[in-house]
Structure 1
Amino acid sequence: MSELIQAVLESEEKNDLRAFVSQLRQQEKNYLLRNDILHVYSEYCAKNEQSEKLYTFSLLGKLLYYTQEIIQEDSNFCFIIRPHIASQEIYRVTADLSVEAMTVQELLDLRDRLVNKYHPNEGDLLELDFGPFYDYTPVIRDPKNIGKGVQYLNRYLSSKLFQDPKQWLESLFSFLRLHQYNGIQLLINNRIQSQQQLSQQVKKAIAFVTERPSDEPYDEFRFQLQTMGFEPGWGNTAQRVQETLNILDELIDSPDPQTLEAFISRVPMIFRIVLVSAHGWFGQEGVLGRPDTGGQVVYVLDQARNLEKQLQEDVLLAGLDGINVKPKVIILSRLIPNSDGTLCNERLEKVYGTDNAWILRVPLRDFNPNMTQNWISRFEFWPYLETFAIDSERELLAEFQGKPDLIVGNYTDGNLVAFLLARRMKVTQCNIAHALEKSKYLFSNLYWQDLDEKYHFSLQFTADLIAMNAANFVVSSTYQEIVGTPDSVGQYESYKCFTMPELYHVVNGIELFSPKFNVVPPGVNENYYFPYTRNQDRVESDRLRLDEMLFTLEDSSQIFGKLDDPNKRPIFSMARLDRIKNLTGLAECFGQSKDLQEHCNLILVAGKLRTEESDDNEERDEIVKLYHIIDEYNLHGKIRWLGVRLSKSDSGEIYRVIADRKGIFVQPALFEAFGLTILESMISGLPNFATQFGGPLEIIQDKVNGFYINPTNLTETATKILDFVTKCEQNPEYWETVSQKAIDRVYTTYTWKIHTTKLLSLARIYGFWNFTSKENREDLLRYLESLFYLIYKPRAQQLLEQHKYR
């Protein structure tokens, strides 16, 4: 039995539990989530005049704090308890307080009965369990180390080298012989025939390069090394070659995790990378602000630029520029013939500021031109992914003149395409979710049948299960994206156990303790986003133009609202107009606080101004809602709403213009997977007030370089902002202090240099792991293919039939 329940039952608080359970029976809801549970408990304590101590410090309070869900069925209650991160316990509690453990299967059946009370399942549902496929792979034990997979893997691999050095050194030797570029052998040649000979020749080569000038170029002693068995790839100078050979020598003689990572990170094995961002409106100009674009487009473009730059640096350091090695990065997206003035109808577009990074757009097959020649929402995109992957494989092979070395998926659709491509081409696959919709929409799996016509979650969640389990490694922006916080479930964690009534049960959807998970946060494009104090890098005409647009410009079809006093401190936010981004919530928070209106103006850069300009249902709803809030709270003269598309340079300067006026940035999302706008505004120098639900918890250090807000508590949010504004008015240096700490936070933790170095290191180490381990992934991949062809594909085909008549 749970220690938490046991402690309550063996204490004087047993009667409190009995009374609390009695109060639960009086609730209209029979399915309570954590906030509901704590609310009922708070009411219970108040009603019974119980002390604050009972609510906060009692055993019962502790039990209910860790209880994620309570489900009532007849007179019994099911308690789902999460005593630790990434763990779950399930108990049935009866009226007389007898407690028994429930299985996952029993819990899923109970949830099904809740949905289909009058039509219970006849017979068993398909049960998905990925657990057995992880039995033969190393597993992290301590939850604190989740997301540090590569560190664990390095320890595991180096310990294997100690345990069975002969086998592992043979694997290492075979791995080094594997690498070529366009038919040119790298690292070692046929003069070295065994791992014993490799060890001997490494020592000879070290002695040879040690005697040469440290800065002597590799090409000047290349042929001597070749006679010893060493081909290009060890370094560009005598010193670099010596360093790399020394690391290998140390790895052979006395392996440890740091040495293993240091060596594998230098192995030249990644030259061609595919970044998949499939659902479209992917371009460098005129695409932001469209449905389903925004942070992901910015992220992938910045990642592509910086990956190419890092690959070029790695090639140079490895001494491969002499054999004409040219790294290439391709962003794979869909071609949209009706591209509304953007370049989304161009097959190939070079990424600005790069030598060899490209956007490759592949058209969808014309099942129905009304659909396939136009933008398609990410929620409707599923029927086209398989044929898109097949067509893309041919295009990628032509562009690379061979196979890529790494495929990185972005978002669910891109990750599924990455799976299909990686499976066909036998290439390392990396997943980046950006957002997993399952956590964003409450009960989205439980009531999928009601939501499927609009969102098609049955396809999306199936695609998620396939892609995340197939991936060789998963990159998340934050720890909590994987396993949440002590009191909230992580995005990936939500896939551990769930039901889709009448479709399937997932009893073990993902192994959270697998070393495939790695936290690698993105960076900020420092060409566009930099501190407002760097006046030498700012364009004065842009500053004046954008200041006028934000605060005083009149008679513009893209601006709503005229400010009575433009000199008030600006509260600024910039995001898409959708429900999750919650800009309407910020407007309502501002509208409800007269004190805030006295001190500040609200400036929003968001989407469109008119419903007829949008083809996204959710955006249209939010436009109507925002106008209603402005009228309801009479915010005329106090708010500016800009429905503009901004270039990157303009969006960077807008943050700085707000900072010039000592403004603040508010990110009020109901949930934010990471928060790129938070990084952009912080590096610009803006104090941030950001949602406590999601990634901002790890970016911002509360009350140091920013502030957490609960966007569902409008009064509390307004009070926090007002307190800060009041402090700044009393002491202007306070704004400067928080501003500088925000800037420092980004530069020390969130740069693209840090990101790309780590990502490429991961790709090499997981490539090494897949080569050297005896892990048999084929059974897992066959299982995933069955899921794709037996569940995903038939449902996608049904949706495609609907699309034919639109």
Structure 2
Amino acid sequence: MSDLIQAVLNTEEKTDLRQFASLLRTSDKKYLLRNEILHAFGEYCQNYEKSEQFHTSSRLSKLIYYVQEIILVNESLCMIIRPRIARQEAYRLLEDLTIEPITPEELLDLRDRFVNHYHPQDGDIFEIDFQPFYDYSPTIRDPKNIGKGVEFLNRFLSSKLFQDSSQWEDSIFNFLRLHCYGGSQLMINERIQSRQQLSDRVKQALSLVGDQPADSPYQTFRFDLQNLGFEPGWGNTAHRVQETLEVLDRLIDSPDHQALEAFISRIPMIFKVVLVSPHGWFGQEGVLGRPDTGGQVVYILDQVKSLEQQLQEDLNLAGLEVLGVNPKVMVLTRLIPNSDSTLCNQRLEKIYGTKDAWILRVPFREFNSKLTQNWISRFEIWPYLETFALDAETELRAEFQGIPDLIIGNYSDGNLVAFLLARRLKVTQCNVAHALEKSKYLFSNLYWQDLENSYHFSLQFTADLIAMNAANFIISSTYQEIVGTPESVGQYESYKSFTMPDLYHVVSGIELFSPKFNVVPPGVNESVFFPYTRQGDRLLGDRDRLEEMLFTQDDPSQIFGTLDDLNKRPLFSMARLDRIKNLTGLVETFGKSTALQERCNLILIAGKLRTEDSTDSEEINEIQKLYQLIDQYNLHGKIRWLGARLSKSDTGEVYRVIADRQGIFVQPALFEAFGLTILESMVTGLPTFATRFGGPLEIIQNTVNGFYINPTEQEEIAEIIIEFLDKCEQNSNYWNEISQRGIDRVYSTYTWKIHTTRLLSLAKIYGFWNYTSQENREDMLRYIESLFYLLYKPRAQQLMQDHLTR
């Protein structure tokens, strides 16, 4: 039994537990979530005149704090308790305070019963359980180390080296022999025939390079090393070659995890990289703000540029200039024939500022030209992804003149395609979720049948399970993306156990303690997003043009609203117009607060201005709601709504123009997986107010370099902003202090150089791990393929039939 429950039952507080449970049974609501439970307990304490100490520090209050859900079934009360991160327990509480544990399978049945989809007479429902496959591999024990997978894996691998040195030296020896480029052997050649010979030759090579001046180019002693059995890849100078050989020598003689990571990270094994992002409008110009198109495009394009630079730097350091080796990076996305004046109908597009990085667009096969010629919502593209992956494989092989070394999936659809490609090409697969829809839409799995026509969650959640388990490693932007906080469940954690009534039960959907998870936050493009104080780097013409657009320009085609008083402080936000981004919530907050209206102008850059210009149902609803709120609260003269699509450079300058007027940036999303706009606003110098649900909790240090807001508490949002404005009036330097701390925070932690260096190191370590444990992964991959063909594919074909009739 839970220690939390037992602690209550062992004291007089068990009477309070009985009374509180009785109170809940009289409620009309039969499924309560954590916030509702805490609110109900607060009411109980107030109604029964309990002390503040009881409300906050009693054994019962501690139990209530850890209860995530309560389901009322007849006279019993089911409590789902999360005593610590990544762990969940369920108990049935009867009226006489009898406590019975509930198994994961029973809990899933209970949830089905709650929505009237429990049919025991039809036999057992299909169960998905990945746990047995993770029994083969090492797992992390301490929740604090979740997201530090590569560090754990290095320690595990080096301990194996120490325990069975001969086996693992053979692994390293054979792994080194694998590497080649364009027909040229790298690292070691046939003159080294065994692990023992490798160890001896390393010491001879160290003696050889030790006699060279440290800065001697590799070419001057290349052939001497070659005679010993060493090919290009060890370094570009005598000093670099010596360092690499010393690390290997240490690894052979006395292995440790630092030596292992240092050595594997130096091996030139990644030359060609594919990043997969099928949905939305993927391009470099004229796409941001379109449906399904936002931060992920910015993220990927910035990541590509940094990846190419880091790859080139690493290859040069490895001494591969002698072979003329250059990296190649491709973004695989969907070609949209009816491209609406964008370049999304262009098969190949060079990425600005790169030497050999491209956007490769592959069309969906033409099952129904009315659909496949046009943009398709991310919720509808599932039937096309398998054939897209097959066609993309042919295109990628042609462009690379071979196969890539690393495939990085983005979002649910991109990760599924990454799995299909990686499985066929037998290369390392990395997943980046950015955001998992299951966390965005409350009870989306429980009521999936009601939502299926609009969202097709049965396909999306199945794709997520397939891709996240198939991936060699997963990159998250934050720790809480994986396992949440003590108060909230993480995005990946929500896949641990759940039901899709009448479809399947997930008993164990993902191992959260797997070393495949790594927290590697993205950076910000420092050439575009930089502090407003760097006046010398700003273009005067751009600044004047954008200032006019933001505050005074009259252009009904892309601007709604005029400002009566230009001296008010600008309150600024920029996002897509969809429900989760919650810009209408910000407008309502502004409308309800006369104090905010007296001191600020609200300026929004968001989507389109007219419903007839949109084909996205959520965007249409938000446009209608925004106009309604402006009229309802009579915000005319106090709000500017720009439906303009900005270039990236204009976006950076817009933040700076707002900062020139000592404005603030508000990000009111109901949930934000990470929040690139938060990094952008902070680094340009704007004091930033961001949702406390999701990634911003790890970016911002509250009241130090930014502020948390609860997007569901509109009065509280207004109070937090007004308190900030009051402090600015009391202390003329307060705005500048918060501004500078935000800038410092980004430069110290969130740069693309840090990100890509870590990403490439991870890819190499997991490539080595995959090589040494291939036989264990194959069992899981076969299971995953079964789920794809038996669950995913039939439903995708069903959706395709629907598309064919449209």
Aligning the two structures, in what range does the TM-score lie when normalised by the shorter sequence?
over 0.9
Aligned to 1:218: 218
- Equivalent positions of 1:23-34 (< 5 A) are 23-34=23-34
- Equivalent positions of 1:528-567 (< 5 A) are 528-567=528-567
- Equivalent positions of 1:717-736 (< 5 A) are 717-736=717-736
Aligned to 1:655: 655
Aligned to 2:346: 346
1:709 aligns with 2:702: no
Deviations 1:373-418 (A, max 9, x none): 1000000000000000000000000000001000000000000000
Given that residues 337 and 344 in structure 1 are in contact (C-alpha distance below 8 angstroms), is that contact kept between their aligned partners in structure 2? yes
Cα displacement (A) at 1:279: 1.4
Aligned to 2:286: 286
Given that residues 117 and 501 in structure 2 are in contact (C-alpha distance below 8 angstroms), is that contact kept between their aligned partners in structure 1? no
Given that residues 481 and 492 in structure 1 are in contact (C-alpha distance below 8 angstroms), is that contact kept between their aligned partners in structure 2? yes
CA distance in 1 between partners of 2:305 and 2:676 (Å): 17
CA distance in 2 between partners of 1:293 and 1:624 (Å): 20
Given that residues 574 and 605 in structure 1 are in contact (C-alpha distance below 8 angstroms), is that contact kept between their aligned partners in structure 2? yes
Deviations 1:644-688 (A, max 9, x none): 000000000000001111111100000000000000000000111
Cα displacement (A) at 1:509: 0.3
Aligned to 2:319: 319
Aligned to 1:44: 44
Amino acid of the structure 1 residue aligned with 2:475: V
- The secondary structure found in structure 2 opposite 1:565 is coil
Given that residues 112 and 120 in structure 1 are in contact (C-alpha distance below 8 angstroms), is that contact kept between their aligned partners in structure 2? no
CA distance in 1 between partners of 2:662 and 2:294 (Å): 26
Aligned to 1:253: 253
- Cα distance, 1:199–1:50 mapped onto 2, change above 3 Å: same
Cα displacement (A) at 1:122: 2.1
1:408 aligns with 2:405: no
- The secondary structure found in structure 2 opposite 1:407 is strand
Aligned to 1:744: 744
Deviations 1:689-732 (A, max 9, x none): 00000000000001100000001000111000000011112212
- Equivalent positions of 1:550-699 (< 5 A) are 550-699=550-699
Aligned to 1:439: 439
Aligned to 1:5: 5
Aligned to 2:136: 136
Deviations 1:192-250 (A, max 9, x none): 11111111111111111111111111111100100010000001111111111111111
- Equivalent positions of 1:757-768 (< 5 A) are 757-768=757-768
Deviations 1:45-81 (A, max 9, x none): 1111112222211111111110000011110111000
Amino acid of the structure 1 residue aligned with 2:155: R
- Cα distance, 1:545–1:774 mapped onto 2, change above 3 Å: closer
Given that residues 137 and 775 in structure 1 are in contact (C-alpha distance below 8 angstroms), is that contact kept between their aligned partners in structure 2? no
CA distance in 1 between partners of 2:48 and 2:77 (Å): 22
Aligned to 1:64: 64
Amino acid of the structure 1 residue aligned with 2:693: F
Alignment coverage as a number of residue pairs: 806
Aligned to 2:337: 337
- Cα distance, 1:774–1:356 mapped onto 2, change above 3 Å: closer
Amino acid of the structure 1 residue aligned with 2:317: L
Aligned to 2:116: 116
Deviations 1:615-672 (A, max 9, x none): 1000010011111111111111111110000000000000000111111110000000
Amino acid of the structure 1 residue aligned with 2:503: L
CA distance in 2 between partners of 1:120 and 1:770 (Å): 42
Structure 2 segments unaligned to the other structure (5+ residues): none
CA distance in 2 between partners of 1:784 and 1:349 (Å): 34
Amino acid of the structure 1 residue aligned with 2:246: N
1:388 aligns with 2:388: yes
- The secondary structure found in structure 1 opposite 2:430 is strand
Aligned to 2:185: 185
- The secondary structure found in structure 1 opposite 2:200 is helix
Deviations 1:4-52 (A, max 9, x none): 0000011111100000000011111111111111111111111111122
Aligned to 2:482: 482
Given that residues 172 and 772 in structure 1 are in contact (C-alpha distance below 8 angstroms), is that contact kept between their aligned partners in structure 2? no
CA distance in 2 between partners of 1:399 and 1:548 (Å): 45
Aligned to 1:167: 167
Cα displacement (A) at 1:119: 5.9
Given that residues 280 and 335 in structure 1 are in contact (C-alpha distance below 8 angstroms), is that contact kept between their aligned partners in structure 2? no
Aligned to 1:772: 772
CA distance in 1 between partners of 2:280 and 2:205 (Å): 51
Given that residues 191 and 228 in structure 2 are in contact (C-alpha distance below 8 angstroms), is that contact kept between their aligned partners in structure 1? yes
Amino acid of the structure 2 residue aligned with 1:484: G
1:372 aligns with 2:372: yes
Amino acid of the structure 2 residue aligned with 1:251: L
Given that residues 431 and 471 in structure 2 are in contact (C-alpha distance below 8 angstroms), is that contact kept between their aligned partners in structure 1? yes
1:18 aligns with 2:18: yes
Aligned to 2:514: 514
1:104 aligns with 2:74: no
Amino acid of the structure 2 residue aligned with 1:696: P
Aligned to 2:422: 422
CA distance in 2 between partners of 1:774 and 1:551 (Å): 60
Amino acid of the structure 2 residue aligned with 1:729: E
- The secondary structure found in structure 2 opposite 1:376 is coil
Cα displacement (A) at 1:791: 0.7
- Cα distance, 1:316–1:61 mapped onto 2, change above 3 Å: same
Cα displacement (A) at 1:117: 6.0
CA distance in 2 between partners of 1:170 and 1:722 (Å): 66
Cα displacement (A) at 1:774: 6.0
- The secondary structure found in structure 1 opposite 2:247 is helix
CA distance in 2 between partners of 1:103 and 1:555 (Å): 62
Cα displacement (A) at 1:253: 1.0
Amino acid of the structure 2 residue aligned with 1:672: E
Given that residues 140 and 515 in structure 1 are in contact (C-alpha distance below 8 angstroms), is that contact kept between their aligned partners in structure 2? yes
Aligned to 1:53: 53
Amino acid of the structure 2 residue aligned with 1:263: F
- The secondary structure found in structure 2 opposite 1:83 is strand
CA distance in 2 between partners of 1:348 and 1:555 (Å): 35
CA distance in 2 between partners of 1:203 and 1:494 (Å): 51
When structure 1 is superposed on structure 2, of 150-159 and 108-117 the one drifting more is 108-117
Amino acid of the structure 1 residue aligned with 2:616: D
- The secondary structure found in structure 2 opposite 1:265 is helix
Aligned to 2:204: 204
Deviations 1:470-495 (A, max 9, x none): 00000000000000000100000000
CA distance in 1 between partners of 2:537 and 2:63 (Å): 55
CA distance in 1 between partners of 2:338 and 2:767 (Å): 40
Deviations 1:260-318 (A, max 9, x none): 11111100000000000011410000111111110011111111111011101011111
- The secondary structure found in structure 1 opposite 2:358 is strand
- Cα distance, 1:27–1:773 mapped onto 2, change above 3 Å: same
CA distance in 1 between partners of 2:379 and 2:245 (Å): 51
When structure 1 is superposed on structure 2, of 702-711 and 553-562 the one drifting more is 553-562
Cα displacement (A) at 1:556: 3.7
- The secondary structure found in structure 2 opposite 1:794 is helix
CA distance in 2 between partners of 1:244 and 1:775 (Å): 30
Aligned to 2:276: 276
- The secondary structure found in structure 2 opposite 1:776 is helix
CA distance in 2 between partners of 1:411 and 1:600 (Å): 37
Structure 1 segments unaligned to the other structure (5+ residues): none
Cα displacement (A) at 1:555: 3.7
CA distance in 1 between partners of 2:413 and 2:236 (Å): 40
Cα displacement (A) at 1:577: 0.5
Cα RMSD after superposing both structures: 0.9
Aligned to 1:80: 80
